[in-house]
Amino acid sequence: MTTAEIVDLKGLPFELRRLQNNSGSSAVRHVLRTLPMYFGDKRAIPFYSEQASAVKNYSLGAYLNARQVGIVVLRSSTDDTGEIAVLAIVPEHQSVGLGTVLLDRAEQEAIRRGHKCIIAATVGPKQKDPNFMRTLRFYERHNYRMLAEFDYMWPGVWCAYLVKQLGD
């Protein structure tokens, strides 16, 4: 952990901390386990926790009273392109603006890295999953636009690739 910032949302002081290596992985595991409707596939948690431990990735954890409540991981896919590799907030602290704050910090980091755009993959509208429809609306409200939707990346699940131009 290298830096800490406090953000006040609805009167609650959320602490944001940069995470490295194992602290990032265990944060991902902790948050994703609270969201079985989204990350219930047994391959999901090991896959995403590995993203947080990759040295070049940027991981930021959110805490309330020292309890882990959210996580975002940014990966640099190419020199021009960043990717939201993980973004999740525990159910009891969703809809107060914390996802927006973590997404913003990841976008700021992508800009610092010189990326021109940022992408995110999520379950697409053809899947008709009401939980992920909310996720899609969240990204759309933050100016992410759907590039493509296909069903070969995650067997049996429609995957949507979203993109946002940075620095507008």
Ligand X SMILES: CC(C)(COP(=O)(O)OP(=O)(O)OC[C@H]1O[C@@H](n2cnc3c(N)ncnc32)[C@H](O)[C@@H]1OP(=O)(O)O)[C@@H](O)C(=O)NCCC(=O)NCCS
Residue from 167, 111, 168, 117 nearest 147 by CA: 117
151 Cα distance to chain centroid: 21
Q: Kindly tell me which of 80 and 140 has the beta carbon lying closer to ligand X.
A: 140
Quick check: 13 and 67 in contact, CB under 8 A? no
Sequence-separated (6 or more) residues with CB below 8 Å from residue 12: 64, 93, 96
Question: Does 122 sit near ligand X (CB under 6 A)?
Answer: yes
Quick check: 11 and 27 in contact, CB under 8 A? no
- Tokens 């992985």 belong to residue: 25
- Piece of 18-26, 52-60, 105-113, 134-142 that binds ligand X (CB under 6 A): 134-142
- Piece of 19-27, 47-55, 90-98, 156-164 that binds ligand X (CB under 6 A): 90-98
Options 18, 64, 94, 116; binder of ligand X; rule CB under 6 A:
94
CA distances from 148 to 70, 135, 158 (A): 27, 16, 10
Q: Kindly tell me which of 162 and 166 has the beta carbon lying closer to ligand X.
A: 162
Site for ligand X in 138-157 (CB under 6 A): 138
- Piece of 18-26, 58-66, 81-89, 144-152 that binds ligand X (CB under 6 A): 81-89
Residues that bind ligand X (CB under 6 A): 9-10, 35, 38, 87-89, 94-100, 122, 134-135, 137-138
